Amino acid sequence: MVPTVTLPGGEKIAALGQGTWHMGEAPAKAAAEAAALRAGIERGLTLIDTAEMYAAGGAERVVAEAISGQRSQVFIVSKVSPQNASAQGVEKSCNASLQRLGVEFIDLYLLHWPGRYAISETIGAFERLRAQGKIRYWGVSNFDTAGMEEIAATEGGGNCASNQVLYHPDQRGIEFDLMPWCRAREMPIMAYSPLGQAGRLLRSAALTAVGRRHNATPAQIAIAWSLRDGNTISIPKASSLAHLAENAAAVNIKLTEQDLAEIDAVHRPPRTKKSLEML
């Protein structure tokens, strides 16, 4: 059973979702990418994260193919790029995303990272889209604590539903203040690149050793770790059925205190404030 997290409004959504960055870049691979997303939906990974920026709209088209005939089962997250985050730009971008996705509404629409437009202007645009039924929730991505404070102080800012940020055992600075800030407001964090983009993290001796005890791979341990607090959504990207199946099975792993301590010993939790890193 895929665990859930609760949005500020009370709605429960899947805690383990699916990323789509780099999907839709190669037309020859699009069918396999859509098949992997469909297999994920079947296994309960019903939250799909995409963005207008990914493959210049190509990833949203792959999502459209994957969710065809099952719109009501999925929770779609997409993002407006900061250069389009003006009042008119947000509306235009949202309409284009809706068209590419082949849907009437986006479940959660995020500002991809802070940009040059005043956040009040972007929030105003998000609120209008919500009133029109084109989006159900809005949120942000790559916002540090100071940015979240600014949102909270802006009219309408109390409706921010999530902050999507880089989070994995080698990038855990947010545990110092951003995570507690969000938890205090019952706002789930969405962890991106939870596998560290399949780089050095998956060769971690600590994740490998913990994995041995659970008969699991380092990738599965990284996913279980990202989900451990019950308030975090994790969106690993898998474009093959094998990776997808492996990732979906990670929801059955319950990390013990000993597992977490062994991971902490190598991938140290922050002791001071660190600026938010982003990809």
Ligand X SMILES: NC(=O)c1ccc[n+]([C@@H]2O[C@H](COP(=O)([O-])OP(=O)(O)OC[C@H]3O[C@@H](n4cnc5c(N)ncnc54)[C@H](OP(=O)(O)O)[C@@H]3O)[C@@H](O)[C@H]2O)c1
Q: Assess contact for 235 and 244: CB atoms under 8 A.
A: no
Q: How many other C-beta atoms are found inside a 10 Å radius of the C-beta of residue 120?
A: 15
Size of the site for ligand X (CB under 6 A): 28
Indicate whether 169 belongs to the interface with ligand X (CB under 6 A). no
Contact between 197 and ligand X per CB under 6 A: yes
For residue 203, the minimal CB distance to ligand X (Å) is 11
For the segment 101-130, give every residue that binds ligand X (CB under 6 A): 112
Cα atoms in the 13 Å half-sphere on the side-chain side of 77: 30
In the complex with ligand X, the residue whose CB is nearer, 261 or 279, is: 279
> How far is Cα of residue 43 from the mean position of the Cα atoms in its chain?
18
Question: Minimal CA–CA distance to 48: which of 106, 127, 133?
Answer: 106
Stretches 5-13, 91-99, 239-247, 266-274: which one binds ligand X (CB under 6 A)? 239-247
Query: Does 137 participate in catalysis according to the annotation?
Result: no
Annotated catalytic residue, options 54, 109, 117, 192: 54
Residue whose C-alpha is closest to residue 13's, from 241, 247, 230: 230
By CB under 6 A, residue 141 contacts ligand X: yes
> 202-205 long-range contacts, Cβ below 8 Å, gap at least 24?
204/169, 204/266, 204/267, 205/266
Nearest residue relative to ligand X (C-beta): 19
Candidate residues 84, 142, 162, 232; the one interacting with ligand X per rule CB under 6 A: 142
Q: Which of 86, 97, 193, 232 touches ligand X (CB under 6 A)?
A: 193
| Residues 188/182, Cβ–Cβ less than 8 Å | yes
Cβ-based nearer residue to ligand X, 202 or 260: 202
237 touches ligand X (CB under 6 A): yes
Give the nearest distance from C-beta 16 to ligand X in angstroms. 11
> Residue 212 CB, nearest distance to ligand X (Å)?
16
Contact indicator for 106, 52 with CB cutoff of 8 Å: no
Closest CB 164 distance from ligand X, rounded Å: 5
Applying CB under 6 A, which of residues 29, 240, 241, 274 lies at the interface with ligand X? 240
Contacts (CB under 6 A) with ligand X, residues 11-50: 19-21, 49
Cα distance between residue 269 and residue 263, in whole Å = 9
Residue of 219, 251, 255, 276 that binds ligand X (CB under 6 A): 219
Phi, psi of 138 (to 5 degrees): -130, 160
85 binds ligand X per the rule CB under 6 A:
no
Number of H helices, E strands in the chain: 10, 9
Tokens read off for 146:
């100071």
- Provide the H-helix boundaries in the chain: 30-42, 58-67, 87-101, 119-132, 145-152, 178-184, 205-214, 218-226, 241-249, 257-266
CB of 248 to ligand X, least distance (A): 10
Which of 139, 147, 196, 211 binds ligand X (CB under 6 A)? It is 196
Interface with ligand X by CB under 6 A: which residues? 19-21, 49, 112, 141-142, 164, 192-198, 202, 219, 235-240, 243, 246-247, 278-279
Catalytic machinery residues: 54
